[in-house]
Chains A and B, each alone.
Chain A
């Protein structure tokens, strides 16, 4: 299995959109402020639908909001 981590640019995108608050973003996509805070901090991975909604609010592609960083895996020894 591939290992990696997910990062996001929600904080930056909120700043670029008139310093939108976590509560406002949450309200627009049907999540609580605490959930937005947890997503921003990388402590909760949202559903694919919620991720698309976040991207739609900022009017950017999904890949600009969330990024996948794959970890290098050692080659298999046969």
Chain B
């Protein structure tokens, strides 16, 4: 498995571990902290962001220390083609999500529901991005 594929896996795992529980908690309903209704979702989002950064930081460090320099070559044309393809796929998810969040949801939802929907579509686009990267490297792997 190439270094870049490992990085894509790491990013996918960090997304799943951090944002999976976040969206489960958010889906449970409104904040129980009535005096400061914005504190709970803000605090939760900050915690999730810190968890994601910690996972990514530890993962990068582990992969970097475990891979000699020659296993971490600069991007070549195939890496760039895979990156382009994955970003194109993620763009369509993101644009569809943003149309929904920005043009449809304001007529039926308010506040944190819209914010969390926007976060959801950004995360979904990132998941598509890294999934396409992983799938492309897997499909083209031969040794």
Contact = CB atoms under 8 A, between A and B. Distances in A.
Interface of A: 23, 26, 30-32, 34-35, 37-38, 40-41, 43-44, 46-47, 50
B2 A40 contact: no
11 contacts: A34-B2, A34-B78, A34-B140, A37-B141, A37-B142, A37-B143, A38-B142, A41-B143, A43-B142, A46-B78, A50-B77
Contacts of B73: 32
A47 B140 CA distance: 16
Contacts of B143: 37, 41
A16 to B, nearest CB: 20
A50 B80 CA distance: 14
A47 B142 contact: no
Given A38-B78, A44-B78, A32 B2 contact: yes
A38 B76 contact: no
Which of A32, A35, A38, A43 gathers most chain B CB within 10 Å?
A: A32
A31 B142 contact: no
Given A37-B141, A37-B143, A46-B77, 19 more contacts: A30-B76, A31-B76, A31-B77, A32-B73, A32-B76, A32-B78, A34-B2, A34-B140, A34-B141, A35-B78, A37-B142, A38-B78, A38-B140, A43-B139, A43-B140, A43-B141, A44-B78, A46-B78, A50-B77
